[in-house]
Amino acid sequence: MTTPRLLLWIAVLLALAGSVLLYLQPGFMVLLAEQVWACF
């Protein structure tokens, strides 16, 4: 693999890991639900 492609994969994996960690926090889920509910 070329270096830029490897760096892109690392960035994608880090972004996915960060989003999974946010979804595991109950406070974040409540905040997200309140923001979605505010749209209606």
The confidence band for 34, taking pLDDT boundaries of 50, 70 and 90, is: very high
pLDDT at residue 16 above 80? yes
pLDDT at residue 1 above 80? no
pLDDT at residue 13 above 80? yes
Structurally, the chain folds into a number of domains equal to: 1
pTM of the entire predicted model: 0.60
For the stretch 1-38, what's the b/e string if a residue is b when 16 or more beta carbons lie within 10 angstroms of its beta carbon? eeeeeeeeeeeeeeeeeeeeeeeeeeeeeeeeeeeeee
What is the span of the domain harbouring residue 8?
Answer: 3-37
